[in-house]
Structure 1
Amino acid sequence: MRIRSVAWIAAALLAVSLSVNAQTYPAREMRVVVGLPAGSGGDVVARFYADKLARVSGQTVIVENKPGMILSIGADAVAKSAPDGYTILITSVTSSHAANLFLFKKLPYNPITDFTPVALLQQGYFILVVRPESGWTSVAKLTAAMKEKGAKASYGYGSPPALASAEFYKARAGLQAVGIPYRTAMQSLPQMFAGELDFQFIDSTQGTPLITGGKLRGLAITSGKRIPGVELPTMAEAANIPEFDVSPTWGVFLPAGAPQSVVAQLESWFDEITKMDSTKQFLARTHASSYPGGAQALAAFLPKEIKRWEQLAKLAKIQPR
């Protein structure tokens, strides 16, 4: 009986604490967790929104990088944090909450029940790239060359969308290229520049400057439709794969059980951020698209994205590890 009483009192104190916290939120600095290394494309995205959150909230926002297990380490850290609104996950929903379900046999968290959805932010795409010296100026030429190389062909990847894109391309084109994993796409670049990798899919944030700088050649994008201002065909067009659409979507989560008032406040702030001119400029600069939405929109989006990646994983013949 005493144990029950202590447990009841603890639960009551937590409820009171969360209630008071919601009324004064935010009363102290907030922590944004990103499951990627500092300097990576995803880190750039998370830090941009964290900086804007600090501006609109008037409170200090600290960005904490927790890389590993393809964004899962960071997501798990947030899932196990106190649901008080002071630990926030800004993540590629596509990777940490959808694709990873089919890349790993077991995740340390449940993408749906262990989190509170807050907002949708933006959507990006990946670019199929090769070395300019390769002579491969189209997806068709790359495909022909990779078929000749057979199992000696290789590609690098540093994220679920990059892996899925490459494996989907391989499966549909009938290639035998071997995938080499990296913690980030940037870590694969020395091998790419040296000709040790034949091709790879790199996110637009990091890939675009390398293409415009002449260090890489872009052949096609993974988006399901053409992007205004981007002079590259889609993989659906260039590789003749109509169902090819890999568009990483970013969103915001809190741990499960976060107070509704805190969720509403953050939802309002991120809605304000997505409408800022500076955000539009950031998206244009990184060749991403605005994909705004509140808590309900993210909650509705997540199961659909999981279903889409279940189908994509089957099409790409991805085996969980």
Structure 2
Amino acid sequence: MGLVVVFSLLSPSAASIANAYPDQPIKIIVSFPPGGSADIVIRALQPALAEDLRQPIVIENRAGAGGNIGIGAVAQAAPDGYTVGVAAAGVLTVNPHLNRAAMPFDPLKDLVPVTLLAEIPFVLVASQKSEISSVADLIARAKAQPQNLSVGHGGSGTAMHLTSALFAQKADIRIQLIAYRGTAPAAVDVLAGHIPLAVLDIPASQQLIREGKLRALGVSAAKRVVFLPDVAPLAELGLSGFESVGWFGIVAPAGTPPDIVGKLNAAFVKALSDPAAIEKIRVLGAEPAPSSPDAFARFIQSESAKWGKLIAEAGIKSE
């Protein structure tokens, strides 16, 4: 009994640990290669985070397996706030539904949401060589000639793939979904008229739309986006409730003390308000989207349910 009492007196309480936090460098694992959107965003926030937390911020890229490798390492790390990760929509809300057996962790049980970082809307475009002039025209043509239209996207299981599938479901049409190895090849083919339609991210399409080389039919966000203010959301074009965006946020290992999660959240939210960081994020076609840990947790749960349902109903398989 005496040993238990002595041990409890000598052991730091959770409160004292949280009060001392952070007292050493913080590692952020990015589950994508250097130079990608998530990597650029976190490096844009790095100086402000280091200043606010008064500790070096070490960024480590661990790409592979659709984000499973990097975020799997976060899930296995000590829950002390010194290892967190940048996780995208795919690894948290799509991968578990495409191939549960390949998941090395449970996103809803083995991780603690800290904050959403940014959202990336997409745009449905038509080739100028096609005769499709609007969403209504597209739907009418697809219903008149089922399976006679195709839409390209950035790859199997990507947010652009799911956006394309959601469009087909909401519009109640049959349309061939063509997977490319990234956004750029899809943009090249729709620009050349090899495919009539594509779902693209903003950086790959914005200038082409402005130059009149691609016809923007609608954006996938619920509201108009600052990058293409003249393009209406699909939700306003007959597809009520349509919303699909790419996104990524910060997660920590399950069991990380709430006070530490709160300190991390405050630092990231503050960093996301820095004008220089906002400018770098918007260059990527992304919009800063800081949130509370609870709001991010609810968002992950709702996105997981949404995409899980679509994947099952549309019969989408992993490749």
- TM-score (ref. length: structure 1): 0.77
SS of the residue corresponding to residue 111 of structure 1 reads coil
Equivalent in the alignment of 1:7: none
- Contact preservation (8 Å) 2:164, 2:177: no
Classify 1:59/1:175 alpha carbon distance in 2 versus 1 (closer, same or farther; 3 Å).
Answer: same
Classify 1:62/1:191 alpha carbon distance in 2 versus 1 (closer, same or farther; 3 Å).
Answer: farther
- Contact preservation (8 Å) 1:119, 1:253: yes
Equivalent in the alignment of 1:41: 37
Structure 1 residue 189 displacement after superposition: 4.1
Equivalent in the alignment of 1:235: 234
Classify 1:134/1:66 alpha carbon distance in 2 versus 1 (closer, same or farther; 3 Å).
Answer: farther
Identity of aligned residues (%): 25
Distance 2:120 2:131 in 1: 27
Question: What letter matches 2:39 in structure 1?
Answer: D
Equivalent in the alignment of 1:99: 94
Give runs of aligned pairs for residues 12-161 of structure 1, distance below 5 A: 23=20, 25-28=22-25, 30-92=26-88, 94-106=89-101, 107-134=103-130, 136-143=132-139, 148=145, 150=147, 153-158=150-155, 160-161=158-159
- Contact preservation (8 Å) 2:187, 2:198: no
Classify 1:299/1:174 alpha carbon distance in 2 versus 1 (closer, same or farther; 3 Å).
Answer: closer
More divergent stretch after superposition (291-300 vs 136-145): 136-145
Equivalent in the alignment of 2:255: 257
Distance 2:268 2:211 in 1: 33
Classify 1:300/1:177 alpha carbon distance in 2 versus 1 (closer, same or farther; 3 Å).
Answer: closer
More divergent stretch after superposition (94-103 vs 62-71): 62-71
Unaligned runs of 5+ in 2: 1-7
Classify 1:166/1:88 alpha carbon distance in 2 versus 1 (closer, same or farther; 3 Å).
Answer: same
Classify 1:121/1:164 alpha carbon distance in 2 versus 1 (closer, same or farther; 3 Å).
Answer: same
Structure 1 residue 214 displacement after superposition: 5.5
Question: What letter matches 1:304 in structure 2?
Answer: S
1:160-215 residue CA offsets vs partner (Å, 9 max, x unmatched):
32111111223334233142252x32454444445444432223354434534666
Distance 2:45 2:196 in 1: 34
Equivalent in the alignment of 1:9: none
Structure 1 residue 253 displacement after superposition: 0.7
Distance 1:68 1:192 in 2: 28
SS of the residue corresponding to residue 236 of structure 2 reads helix
Unaligned runs of 5+ in 1: 1-11
SS of the residue corresponding to residue 309 of structure 1 reads helix
Distance 1:226 1:216 in 2: 18
Classify 1:145/1:53 alpha carbon distance in 2 versus 1 (closer, same or farther; 3 Å).
Answer: farther
What's the Cα RMSD here? Answer: 3.5
- TM-score (ref. length: structure 2): 0.77
Classify 1:70/1:206 alpha carbon distance in 2 versus 1 (closer, same or farther; 3 Å).
Answer: farther
Distance 1:40 1:121 in 2: 15
Structure 1 residue 220 displacement after superposition: 1.0
SS of the residue corresponding to residue 292 of structure 1 reads coil
Classify 1:117/1:22 alpha carbon distance in 2 versus 1 (closer, same or farther; 3 Å).
Answer: farther
Equivalent in the alignment of 1:177: 176
Classify 1:21/1:285 alpha carbon distance in 2 versus 1 (closer, same or farther; 3 Å).
Answer: same
Distance 2:203 2:259 in 1: 34
Partner of residue 307 from structure 2, selected from 289, 306, 309: 309
SS of the residue corresponding to residue 217 of structure 2 reads strand
